[in-house]
Amino acid sequence: MGRNFLLKIVVGAASLGMAVPVFAQESAPVPPPIRPAIRQEVQNARQEIKTNAEEKRTELKAAMEQKREEFKQKLDDSKKEVKTRIDAKKQELKDRLVKIKDEKKKAVVERIDGRLDALNAKRLEHFSAVLEKLGAVREKINTRVEKAAAKGLDVSAVRSMLAAADAAIATSETAIANQTAKTYTITVTDEATLRQNVGAARQALQADLKAVEQTVKDAREAVRKAATTLAGVPRVDEADTQPTAQPTI
């Protein structure tokens, strides 16, 4: 009996000894450590992407500033030119109003003529200010786009929207510049048609300003779409967070 008891102990010990290697084989292998050279390559690649993104942002900012300066210069040139034409137009209106006997009507027409030019200038100043703010918002969106791209996010759709926004802003700038060069002449034939002719000049100005305003609205909508598309990029907030508030028209 003692022999059987000893045999059971030996068999049990052998069984336990066999279990150890089995558990050792089933445990997960330990991954080898990343070599310093590979780690350095990854860091260099990330730094290169970041540097390229910063250079691109700088170039784009410089290009946007140059476009704004060119637009301002074009407006200034148009304003100087139109001022000379307005001064000449005032004198021409006085000459045409000679045929009108009612002095009060003549004064009213001259006053309305001046108001038309002033209203045109005032509205265009406002539209230009809105476009400048839209350009600043567009620049902020692009900054976020480049930071997101540097982190490997897909921002191709946002870049397409930004290109559309650039085109819309350029179209609006052209419309403003063209409108700046316009003047509105009140036709003077006789007293019977004077009121009608004044109304026609007003309507022409209002129609032109409405058309320019629509281009500004289109530009604002294009920038809004770019901002919305950027917000829809997965994990974009992890790359950067900046407000993209848009100006009102």
The pLDDT assigned to 79 comes to 82
Q: How far apart are CA 108 and CA 143, in angstroms?
A: 53
Of the candidates 244, 202, 203, 200, the one whose C-alpha atom is nearest the C-alpha of residue 224 is: 244
CB atoms within 10 A of CB 2: 6
Of the candidates 180, 163, 159, the one whose C-alpha atom is nearest the C-alpha of residue 71 is: 180
The pLDDT assigned to 21 comes to 45
Please answer whether residues 216 and 119 qualify as being in contact, where contact means their C-beta atoms are separated by less than 8 angstroms: no
The pLDDT assigned to 6 comes to 41
The pLDDT assigned to 124 comes to 96
Please answer whether residues 48 and 142 qualify as being in contact, where contact means their C-beta atoms are separated by less than 8 angstroms: no
* 112 Cβ contact partners less than 8 Å away, ≥ 6 residues apart: 186, 198, 201, 202
Q: How far apart are CA 204 and CA 184, in angstroms?
A: 8
Q: Is 151 helix (H, G, I), strand (E, B) or coil?
A: coil
pLDDT tens digits, one per residue of 73-127: 877 887 888 888 888 999 999 999 999 999 999 999 999 999 999 999 999 999 9
What phi, psi does 160 have (nearest 5°)? -65, -40
Distance of CA 21 to the CA centre of its chain: 66
The pLDDT assigned to 46 comes to 63
Domain boundaries, the chain: 70-249
249 residues of the chain, pLDDT tens digit each: 555 544 454 445 444 444 444 444 455 565 655 577 777 776 676 666 667 666 766 776 677 677 777 777 877 887 888 888 888 999 999 999 999 999 999 999 999 999 999 999 999 999 999 999 999 999 999 999 999 998 889 999 999 999 999 999 999 999 999 999 999 999 999 999 999 999 999 999 999 999 999 999 999 999 999 999 999 999 888 765 554 566 777
The pLDDT assigned to 114 comes to 95
Q: How far apart are CA 234 and CA 69, in angstroms?
A: 36
Query: Which amino acid, residue 152?
Result: G
Q: How far apart are CA 209 and CA 117, in angstroms?
A: 12
Exposed / middle / buried, residue 42 (Cβ in 10 Å: 0-12, 13-18, 19+): exposed
Please answer whether residues 66 and 74 qualify as being in contact, where contact means their C-beta atoms are separated by less than 8 angstroms: no
Helix axes 103-150, 156-180, angle to 10 degrees: 160
Of the candidates 67, 238, 229, the one whose C-alpha atom is nearest the C-alpha of residue 141 is: 229
Residue 233 is given by DSSP the state S
> What's the pTM value of the predicted model, to 2 decimals?
0.71
Side-chain-facing half-sphere of 230: CA atoms under 13 Å = 30
Q: How far apart are CA 111 and CA 105, in angstroms?
A: 10
